[in-house]
Amino acid sequence: MASTVENPTLTSASFEELVREMIVRLGEDPAREGLVRTPQRVHKAYEFLTKGYKDDPEAMLKKALFTVTYDEMVIVKDVEMFSLCEHHMLPFIGKVHVAYIPNGKVIGLSKIPRLIEIFSRRLQIQERLTTQIAETIQKTIQPQGVGVVIEARHLCMMMRGVEKQHSAAVTSSMLGCFRDEQETRQEFLSLIRNRPNGV
């Protein structure tokens, strides 16, 4: 089970008190009608947005492993993903495409979106999120190979900084035969490109 890191210097103030202080430092009045319950709402929202720290991704996958003789590519694509950038704590939003070639074991299809959810509901960077998904599948079922591609838009680029509204970041992690065999990698990339809906 993953655990959060607790800073002892913050234990004297509640989450709500910290949010209230932030509201004051932004120049607002936390007693104003629209802001009175904001600290509680923010606390509840962040608990939900970072709930992935409470789950063990490998244990979750191991609950739905099945022995098969199938050895062709399995792809789960266009999985919606919402995460928080660890640098600015602003959302990044996109789609995840996952493929693997079994080596005697397959994962229940619903567990791949669940795995994505666990890792994305943490403070993240897109690059780490991509490799965590791939490496967890590789470690848990030891397939012939795993490929993960994430396409995402980052509000820290869209709302602030360079303020580019239509830019997207694409990251990939290729393990096993997806790294070693160009034909396998190209088949995966071709199959996820041929889709009607983009990011």
Annotated catalytic residues are: 85-88, 126, 154, 156
Helix axes 38-49, 15-25, angle to 10 degrees: 120
Tokens 């590789």 -> residue? 138
From residue 150, give the alpha-carbon distance in Å to each of 2, 13, 112, 123, 141.
23, 37, 14, 16, 21
